[in-house]
Chains A and B, each alone.
Chain A
Amino acid sequence: RKEVEQDPGPFNVPEGATVAFNCTYSNSASQSFFWYRQDCRKEPKLLMSVYSSGNEDGRFTAQLNRASQYISLLIRDSKLSDSATYLCVVKEGGNTPLVFGKGTRLSVIA
């Protein structure tokens, strides 16, 4: 079975902290990578796609290392509203569904 592995956490960090999540994937043929965010008792929502060159969206930075089959998400200046579960998602090439990690839970504390 293709796997996407994440540290389940929880990560408990104070407001303003920088926190990093890591994710590894087993299928070297994977072509697309995403981070989703899921709030408690809500549906997953796309946070950002992850590009080979790395990409940034405000306080969020995603990196991809294809050689090590490793994806990361960095959150700077954490806010209380960042508290959620972050899902690492990988897609192989072709007409195949997404593969979701089990998620890493983040709690930002005042």
Chain B
Amino acid sequence: NAGVTQTPKFRVLKTGQSMTLLCAQDMNHEYMYWYRQDPGMGLRLIHYSVGEGTTAKGEVPDGYNVSRLKKQNFLLGLESAAPSQTSVYFCASSYSAFPIGSEQFFGPGTRLTVL
């Protein structure tokens, strides 16, 4: 089991460029999440999905879009990157969002720099 994987691991963008971050999980989890982590800010939820074909906004959704076309994949898109989106992005998945099975498993992260 690979668990949760993220592609790419590192990326440098120029302001205004677009990119897609890919998250994949092989645990047959229903729920998937995208977070960003900045120094002193902790983990902040961007978007999440409660199942294939569904998405929902988290705490900081502006400037990002997501898609969950397949259960095992969750894509995070930046249409027009801004320096404020320089961050470490973590994907996570969980079996459920209810008290039982709600613990999340994280991918290794993507370090994104926007110049």
Contacts and interface: CB of A to CB of B under 8 A. Distances in A.
A44 B90 contact: yes
Contacts of A87: 42-43
Contacts, number: 47
B103 A102 contact: no
A96 B108 CA distance: 23
Interface string A16-40: 0000000000000001101000000
Interface residues of B, number: 22
Interface string A92-107: 0111111011110000
Contacts of B50: 95
B13 interface: no
A90 to B, nearest CB: 11
A80 interface: no
Nearest to A33: B99
A49 interface: yes
Interface in A80-96: 87, 91, 93-96
A39 B58 CA distance: 25
A44 B43 contact: yes
Interface string A39-75: 0001111100100000000000000000000000000
Nearest to B41: A102
Given A43-B109, A97-B33, A97-B58, A91 B43 contact: no
A53 to B, nearest CB: 15
A91 B99 contact: yes
A97 B97 contact: yes
Contact of B106 (A31, A45, A91): A45
B54 to A, nearest CB: 11
B48 interface: yes
The 10 closest A-B pairs by CB, nearest first: A102-B42, A43-B106, A100-B43, A32-B99, A31-B99, A95-B97, A46-B103, A44-B106, A43-B108, A91-B102
Given A100-B43, A101-B42, 17 more contacts: A32-B102, A42-B109, A43-B90, A43-B108, A43-B109, A44-B106, A46-B104, A46-B105, A87-B42, A91-B97, A93-B99, A94-B98, A96-B97, A97-B33, A98-B102, A102-B41, A102-B42
